[in-house]
Structure 1
Amino acid sequence: MIGGFVIDRKFSVLSLTGGSCSLNCFYCSAKYIKSMLSAPTPEELYKEISRLHARGVKGFLVSGGFNERGELPVKKYLPVMRKAKKEMGVIFNVHPGLLDRETIEEMRDVVDIVDYEFAYSTGAYKSKGVKRPREDYLKVLEDLVDYGPKYVVPHLMLGLPSDSDEELEDVIRLVASYNPYLINFLVLIPTPGTPSRLLKPMDVVRALRLIELGHALTGGRTSLGCMRPYQIKEELDREVVKRGIVQRIANPHHKVVKEFNLPLYDGCCSLPEEYLGEFKYEADN
């Protein structure tokens, strides 16, 4: 089954740091977190979750900016997230960055899904600019798999100029060796106001070849994430559906939705199958 995922009325995205981030990523420079709802204190996070839940929101992506070590400051928010989960039964998906093992273990009974940006290739690591060794990305992945929440979804960025296809293939094989629930592929968007603005979008044929490798190595447990350039979006979306090389597409192109009659879900594309029934997209709600 191939499904499309859109965040509309049943899911919401919250930033624990407002629009601020200590990193200056090559393709973001904090631009992508500025559109998120701000919840900069535990009290405000609980208040925002309660307000949105009363309006029908059932799930939350908890994200925000990172410190210089590439960490989302989620630890101090876990108690109120635990309280909200117990009282409201909401689902939490966290974009945590490079957390320590203690925090990862604390997330087990609070967080349902971890979207983990695995910036391990040369280009991805350089683009993040974190002040710690590249190998920490692998160590944190291992800790997440061994000690963290049930569903861990590594995210791999394609289209960075310093990454060769050969290196990306090695990274895909490495991630697949951990038998993740899902591998999510992103394609860099040349973003105005960032150093990436001068790049050309990644060639679709190259992207498809790498996604096909992930599909083959994971038995089909792959998804196409929300970041991909509009210039290639329709073609890329159509081809991954035709070839059957992903299970999920975030924000699928409207022509592809219509052409293939894709079922739609209201939430992150990382949502486990056990939750999909609660998050069917309802156009009239």
Structure 2
Amino acid sequence: MAEISAVKEAWEIRQRFKPEIWFSAPGAKHYENRYYANHHHSFVNISVTGEACACRCDHCNGKLLQSMVGTPTPLEMRRVVDQLLDKDCRGILVSGGANSQGEVPLLAFMDSIAYASQKGLKVLVHSGIISRETALGLKAAGVDQVLLDVIGDQDTIHQVYHLNQRPEDYLRAMLFCREADLNIAPHVVIGLHYGQIRGEMKALEMIREAWPETIVLVILTPSCGTAMEGLQPPNLADVGEVIAKARLTNPNIPITLGCARPSGQYKRQVEILAVDCGVNGMAYPDEETVIYARSKGLQTMFTEECCSLIARNV
């Protein structure tokens, strides 16, 4: 496992926050146990490109887009928003496939995004690399938060994401968002380089420069039918080292364990480890994790919003 001293220190830093842990269960995925059951349309993922993606990353190959509601035109997005409002939806995550520059093409959808916000929906945007123009547009549209994957290793960007970008481009994207006064929740995919730890620590260093509201950590979970199918997940000790590092270097910023992580026993082990390392929130926890968090003296709170939104609660 991760070095015991680092985990212990991370847990001690966690005591600066309220003795609560927020468990997130958005309606995009069914979640039910003796502690909580979510609602199907409470929070819905939308793709502005349908299933199209120019990158075809080695761990995804566009598969994740298949689980989203496709809205390939601004008019279709408005229609879907109206339908979701009729189903008591509370929020949407707007995403989509990236273009050859690694950016989700959002500019044509700004009016529709603003429409969703004006109708009272919580609006999050998973943008990919983002330009200053897009950041300013999202601010004007009233989005609640921007989610960006941050990669700290150039070989990973080239080999996994198939992009000719650099780590500095991800830092620049975060700073564009901060210039626009956007709430940001950068994501770090642990083990993204074929299960290896390569650019995660560099990504955390860049994130510190952007002073985000929340940091979201997820773990490589290759989709079936991709170049990484069947790949072993990153070593638990390495995962723990990254989570502890995130907590130690960001003592005042909420940290969550996001949706993506391998299933089964690995999932349960990494969730326990994340609790020990002092995360403030977690998406779709195993029932055993809820019990363990309570045994650590934490009050368990449930929400159907994305885990990246917990900052206002901690």
**TM-score, normalised on structure 2?**
0.81
CA-CA distance at 1:272 after TM superposition: 4.3
Alignment pair present for 1:206 and 2:238: yes
Percent identity of paired positions between Structure 1 and Structure 2: 25
Tell me, in whole angstroms, the C-alpha distance in 1 between the residues paired with 2:92 and 2:163: 26
8 Å Cα contact 1:123-1:160 kept in structure 2: no
Is the contact made by 1:11 and 1:60 (CA closer than 8 Å) also made in structure 2? yes
* Aligned mate of 1:31, from 63, 81, 86: 63
Q: Which residue of 2 aligns with 1:62?
A: 94
Larger deviation, residues 213-222 vs 17-26: 213-222
1:178 to 206, 210, 215: 210
Matching residue's letter, 1:6: A
> Equivalent residue of 2:64, what SS?
coil
CA offset digits 1:211-233 (Å, max 9, x no partner): 11111111152111111111411
Aligned: 1:193 with 2:231? no
1:160-175 aligned within 5 A: 160-161=192-193, 165=197, 167-175=199-207
Residues 145-195 of structure 1: CA deviation (Å, up to 9, x unaligned): 22252x101111111346865743233123123221111111101332111
- Greater relative contact order (CA < 8 Å, ≥ 6 in sequence): 2
Letter in 2 for 1:3: W
Gap change, CA 1:208 and 1:35, over 3 Å in 2: same
Contact 1:4 1:250 in 2 (8 A): yes
Alignment match, 2:301: 263
Q: Deviations over 1:118-151 (max 9, x none)?
A: 12323541311124444322211211122252x1
1:85 equivalent to 2:117? Answer yes
More displaced stretch, 192-201 vs 164-173: 164-173
Is this contact kept in 1: 2:60–2:222, CA < 8 A? no
Q: Could you list the per-position Cα deviations for residues 6-50 of structure 1 after superposition, in whole angstroms to 9, with x for gaps in the alignment?
A: 112321111111111111101100011101111111111011111
Aligned residues: 272
The answer to whether the Cα contact below 8 Å between 1:14 and 1:61 also exists between their aligned partners in 2 is yes
* TM-score for the superposition, normalised by structure 1: 0.88
Structural RMSD (CA): 2.0
- Kept in 2, the 8 Å contact 1:179–1:218? The answer is no
User: CA 1:13 to 1:194, structure 2 compared with 1: closer, same or farther past 3 Å?
Assistant: same
Q: 1:79 to 1:210 in 2, by over 3 A?
A: same
Change (3 A) 1:107 1:257: same
- How many Å separate the matches in 1 of 2:290 and 2:310? 21
Tell me whether 95-104 or 254-263 shows the greater mean CA deviation: 254-263
